[in-house]
Structure 1
Amino acid sequence: MKEKEAAELRRRFKADKSAITHVRGCYVNEKGEIVSQFDQSLAMMGQEESEKLLSLLRRTLSGGMDRNLLDITFATGQVVSGEEHRLLMALRDSALRDEEAVQAFFQKAIGSLDLEGNYLILLAHDRYDVPYKAKDGEAQKDASEEVYSYILCSICPVKQTKPALSFYVRENRFYNRQADWLVASPELGFLFPAFDDRSTNLYNALYYNRDVGENHPDFAQAVFAVEPPMPAQAQKETFQALLGDSLGEECSYEVVQAVHEQLRELVEEHKENKEEEPLLVSKGAVKCVLQSCGVSESHIASFDSRYDDSFGEDTRLSPKNLVNARQVELSTPDVTVKVSPEYSGLVETRVIDGKKYILIPVEGEVEVNGVPIRIEG
């Protein structure tokens, strides 16, 4: 899916636009036991409560593509006869009214989740009459191409607040506010089927994780029978280690800076051009940068081999997951220096009298904890 398609669905999660009539779910305690189940009608809720519930669900479609939102692809065999895919289809086709399917899903999800404390599993079904879009991008509400029927699952931690002192202005007095239980933003969830090219794609799902360093593989395996993509943070750490290990003594500041600069430029160009397709780079693109920096063929071959082992030969990665587009960070065991990307070319590394130095030329004032200092020549 593309960010534009996720945004189109997010806009539906309002009381006057959504076709969601009820939300099914269960409350699970820290022991993994279902304490209660509910089938909540939005029409029977107050406007404020229904809006907050829809807002919780909407957050399962938030975050960046290939970071928080990951594409899950089913094999053809799974779509034809896979148990997991059949269960998801039963939930969708019955609009969550198939009691056996709902209970089976709850048990499957609970058995695979490893969350601390209590949590809610929320399930919603929606039918979206997809408006036709002309070539100029204008939507024509009266001209619909299809009805997109889908389910959305959100798994939300339930956290206990601390007792606190509150002041009630109208009564002009203080009260002790008791501890209470609040539903937090979703930790993970998914959309099924995918909304690819603004149309139903039964071969894909969209998998959400709030933490870019976590992908809850046990849950993904239980629900989709698919290994989820590597978390964004793990991609970054793996790529960093990959460069250092494969380039060895040729892994200089200039080489790393050139790789990162190239990736940042790709991100900026993609953003400026407002391209809809997700930006992905191949192993070959990184190898071309290494070659332009004069890295030896033996080290490039090492990078090639290690990349295949770490990510897979044909795997393309999002540059946003590999570099920090906002700053360049140079770290030693005791000191960390942060530089804006546009000035990273000013940084030099040298060995003077046998000692390693990071050199940054300075123009204008220099401050230490807000105090301007003088640097004598």
Structure 2
Amino acid sequence: MNKKETLEIRKQFTNENCAITRICGCYVDAEKQIRTELKEAFLSLPEEEIFKYYEIFKKTLSGTVGKNLLNMEFPIAQEMPDGTQAWLLKLRDSKLQDEILLEEFYEKIIKNYAYGENYYIILIHASYDIPKKAEDGMEMFDASDDVYEYLMCSICPVKLDKASLCYNAEKNNIEDRERSWIVQAPDAGFLFPAFNDRNTDLHSMLYYTRNPEVLQPALMEEVFGCQTPLSAKGQKETFQELVTETLGNACDYETVVSIHENLNEIIEEKKDQPEPPTLTKPEVKNLLAISGAPEEVLDHFEEQFDATAGNKTEFLATNLTSTKALEVKTPDVIIKVSPEKAALLETRVINGRSYLLIQIDDQVEVNGVPIRPVTFSESDSESEE
């Protein structure tokens, strides 16, 4: 799913567009015991609660595609009658009316979700009449042929709020306020099936994680039967290792800067496209080639890619570089410069020692104090002395 498709589902979480038919959930304590359960027609809830649930559901479809929102495909084996995809499909088709399936779902989540405190599992069923779109992109709500029927789950931590004083109007005094257990924004969740090309895609699902580096692999692999993808940080580290191992002795400052400049160009060129730019094995090889990697180091690139990243790995371009800053780091010094100003830095060997030189044309400050740069004539006179 891309950003536009995700936003289209998010827009349903209002009273005007609500397509949710049923909500179920359970509150789990730190000992992994279910304390209470919820089973209701969604619109039968009090209006104040409905709006709070809308906010949770919107959060479950928020963040960056490729970091917080991960598209996952089911392996063929999981689409067999005894597979995880087939089981999720059965749960969806039950419209959350099957008690046995619901209990089985809760048990799977509780067993595989790694969290040592209290949390609230929320599961909804919805049926969305997909409006057709005219040539100008306008939605035609009276022309709908397809229905997108889906499940969405949000897993929310439940934490005790902070101790505080409050004003008691009945007693007209200030006193200690009784602390309450508060449902927080979701840490994890999923949408099944995926909404790809504005329609149902039974072969995929969308997974949400608040922290891109905490992916809950047991949840992905045991409950959904999907392979855990590389996190955003994992993609960056794998790409860095791949560049280092491929270039070897040719891994110099100019080549690495050129790689990141070309990555930023790819991101800029495709920033208005619904799909975030990705790099497959041939595209990574081409990136290295146009960035100045010698032809001889690319002769064995395919083998190096498979060994480092895996044959089918795709990198999200925005996970590999920063469009805001280029970082140059030594054991003692860290320099950050905007990518378009990378030419201000250069490497040079002077008297047999390697130096990183920074061109100074404008004002320089040290701890906020402006200093006067050394001029050419001053530097020249000092060297003569």
Q: TM-score, normalised by structure 1?
A: 0.92
| Whole-Å separation in 1 of the counterparts to 2:287 and 2:91 | 48
C-alpha distance after superposition, 1:278-313 (max 9, x if no partner): 321222233233334443344324543222123332
Tell me: CA distance 1:167–1:347, structure 2 relative to 1, closer, same or farther (3 Å): farther
Structure-2 residue corresponding to 1:180: 180
Tell me if structure 2 keeps the 8 A contact 1:27–1:34.
yes
Q: CA RMSD in A?
A: 2.3
Distance 1:33 1:362, change over 3 A: same
Mapping for residues 41-120 of structure 1, pairs under 5 Å: 41-120=41-120
Paired residue secondary structure (2:347): strand
Taking the TM superposition and a 5 Å limit, the aligned residue runs for 1:112-261 are: 112-165=112-165, 174-261=174-261
- Structure-2 change in CA distance of 1:174 and 1:198 (3 Å): same
Deviates more, 1:234-243 or 1:176-185: 176-185
- Give the Cα–Cα distance (whole angstroms) in 2 for the partners of residues 168 and 249 of structure 1: 72
Amino acid at match of 1:215: L
- Partner of 1:157, secondary structure, is strand
The answer to whether 1:295 aligns with 2:265 is no
Q: How far does residue 174 in structure 1 lie from its aligned partner after superposition?
A: 4.7
Distance in 2 (alpha carbons) for counterparts of 1:168 and 1:260:
60
CA gap of 1:376–1:305, structure 2 versus 1, over 3 A, is same
How far apart, in 2, do the equivalents of 1:175 and 1:332 lie? 55
Amino acid at match of 2:104: A
1:164-194 Cα deviation digits (max 9, x unpaired) = 3457999997543443322222111110011
Write the letter of the residue equivalent to 1:291.
Answer: A
Distance of 1:82 and 1:204 partners within structure 2 = 17
Q: Select between 233-242 and 284-293 the one with higher mean Cα deviation.
A: 284-293
Relative to structure 1, the CA distance from residue 294 to residue 141 in structure 2 (aligned partners, 3 Å threshold; closer, same or farther) is closer
CA distance change for structure 1 residues 246 and 47 in 2, over 3 Å: closer, same or farther?
Answer: same
The 10-residue stretch of structure 1 (96-105 or 18-27) with the greater mean CA deviation from structure 2: 18-27
> Any idea what the Cα deviations from partners look like across 1:119-153, whole Å, max 9, x if unmatched?
11110111101111112211101000211110001
Give the direction of change, closer, same or farther, for the CA distance of 1:360–1:32 in structure 2 (3 Å limit): same
Does the CA contact (< 8 Å) of 2:279 and 2:317 recur in 1?
yes
Per the TM alignment, residue 360 of structure 1 is displaced from its structure 2 partner at its CA by 1.8
> Considering only CA atoms, is the larger Rg found in Structure 1 or Structure 2?
2
**Alpha-carbon distance in structure 1 between the residues aligned to 2:175 and 2:203:** 55
Post-superposition offset of 1:243:
1.3
C-alpha distance in 1 between matches for 2:97 and 2:193: 18
Give yes or no for the alignment of 1:286 onto 2:284: yes
Structure 2 unaligned spans of 5+: 376-385
Instruction: Report the AA paired with residue 156 of structure 2.
Output: C
Contact persistence 1:6–1:61 (CA under 8 A): yes
| Aligned partners of 2:91 and 2:101 also within 8 Å | yes
After superposing the two structures, state which structure 1 stretch, 289-298 or 334-343, moved more. 289-298
Following superposition, the deviation at residue 374 of structure 1 comes to: 1.6
Name stretches of at least 5 consecutive residues in structure 1 with no aligned partner: none
Match of residue 361 from structure 1: 359
Measure the CA separation in 2 of the matches of 1:88 and 1:220.
13
Partners of 2:168 and 2:277 lie apart in 1 by 51
Corresponding residue SS for 2:38: strand
1:92-121 per-residue CA deviation (whole Å, 9 max, x = no partner) reads 112111111111011011111111311111
Verify the 8 A CA contact 1:156 1:185 in the aligned structure 2: yes
* C-alpha contact (below 8 Å) 1:247/1:302 kept by paired residues: no
CA–CA separation in structure 2 for the residues paired with 1:178 and 1:371: 51
- Residue type of the partner of 1:33? Q
Kept after mapping to 2: 8 A contact 1:243/1:303: no
Query: Structure 1 residues 74, 164: CA separation in 2 closer, same or farther (over 3 Å shift)?
Result: same
1:263 positional shift: 0.9
> For 2:185, what is the secondary structure of its paired residue?
coil
Shift of 1:79: 2.4
Question: Is the contact made by 1:160 and 1:179 (CA closer than 8 Å) also made in structure 2?
Answer: yes
Inter-partner Cα distance in structure 1 for 2:64 and 2:170: 43
TM-score of the two chains, using structure 2 as the length reference: 0.90
